[in-house]
Amino acid sequence: MTVRPFRFGVQSSVAPTMTAWRDRARAAEDLGYSALYLTDHLDAQFGPLVAATVAAEATTTLHVGTLVLNNDLRNPVVLAKEIASLGLVAEGRVEVGLGAGWLRSDYEEAGVEYEHPRTRVDRLAESVQIMKDLWGTGESTFEGRYYSVHEARCEPRPPSSPRLIVGGGSKGILTVAALHADIVGINTSLASGEKGGDVTSAAALEHFDRCVSWVREAAGERFAGLEFQILTIAANVVPSRRAALRGATMLGFPGDEALDLPILLIGTEDELSERLHERRERWGFSNIVVPGESMDVFAPVVARLAGH
């Protein structure tokens, strides 16, 4: 596995005003974060593509993108054009995460059938192929089980394709990531269809070992070129190990071993630096995403490790 320099992203999806959102994007850039990502749900958040465009206009080096767009809520030909336009606005600073959809309430609100995970993953695989063709050559003709596309075009488009993120915690979705993505996100289980449903039970270290092995098996020669991303549910610099343990327990992760879980980043600055190096060595995690509320408190670790 290639050892990549650390880079850090922020996941944040709403602010009191668009002025505050612009300020947040500029603050992330000034603090040394590499990217600002938006979720894609039908609760109280900005529309991700509009908000990503605003953030791109407000910054000069910050990458903008999504973690992740629900494929079942959008047509791939239409979405490819929207993302291509975002790429022109951001001048190539786009990292687009695409997912098979998992949150049951989004489907219920939109009146879309919540189908079996295998169906959703297979549909995503077709969608990704169509969009990659449109971004790469500007056109696509595709006949699959879920999509039938004839001489679709994507113009204008940026000189380079957006970096594609696909992630998950199952073999099916990680196989799609291994075959198509530039950045692979490793998650815990989302099978419950509920926020926080399976996180604690599926966060064992062995789960992440299995996920990386699935990617390695499916990627073949592509494996060496993949960047591995981990989305954390909590990131906090605290003064002592005792404070870190207390923080993990409050989140439902009791015990010393909880601090070793890659979805948690709670500890002193020195401890977090050591853990991040260990996780990069074991799983390849060099792309670290923290919650928006952690952006300021986690900034010393970003300053210490980004680019190293």
DSSP for the chain, please give it: ---PPPEEEEE----SSHHHHHHHHHHHHHTT--EEEE---SSSS--HHHHHHHHHHH-SS-EEEEEEEEGGGS-HHHHHHHHHHHHHHHTT-EEEEEE----HHHHHHHT-----HHHHHHHHHHHHHHHHHHHHHSEEEEE-SS-EEEEEE--S--SSPPEEEEEESSHHHHHHHHHH-SEEEE----TTSSTTSSTTTT--HHHHHHHHHHHHHHHGGGGGG-EEEEE-SEEEE-SSHHHHHHHHHHTT--SGGGGG-TTEEEE-HHHHHHHHHHHHHHH-EEEEEEEGGGTTTTHHHHHHHTT-
Instruction: Give residue 217's pLDDT.
Output: 98
* Model confidence at 246: pLDDT above 60: yes
Instruction: Give residue 254's pLDDT.
Output: 85
Instruction: Give residue 25's pLDDT.
Output: 98
258 or 173, which is more confident? 173
pTM exceeds cut of 0.75: yes
* Model confidence at 235: pLDDT above 70: yes
The answer to which of 27-31, 32-36, 253-257, 296-300 has the lowest mean pLDDT is: 253-257
Instruction: Give residue 202's pLDDT.
Output: 63
The answer to which of 101-115, 135-149, 213-227, 241-255 has the lowest mean pLDDT is: 241-255
pLDDT digits (tens, 9 = 90+) for 137-186: 999 999 999 999 999 999 999 999 999 999 999 999 999 999 999 999 99
Percent of the chain surpassing pLDDT 70? 98
* Model confidence at 61: pLDDT above 60: yes
Instruction: Give residue 203's pLDDT.
Output: 72
Instruction: Give residue 161's pLDDT.
Output: 95
* Model confidence at 133: pLDDT above 80: yes
* Model confidence at 267: pLDDT above 90: yes
Instruction: Give residue 255's pLDDT.
Output: 82
Instruction: Give residue 197's pLDDT.
Output: 56
Mean confidence (pLDDT) of the chain: 95
Please report the domains of the chain, with CATH numbers, ordered by start residue: 7-305 (3.20.20.30)
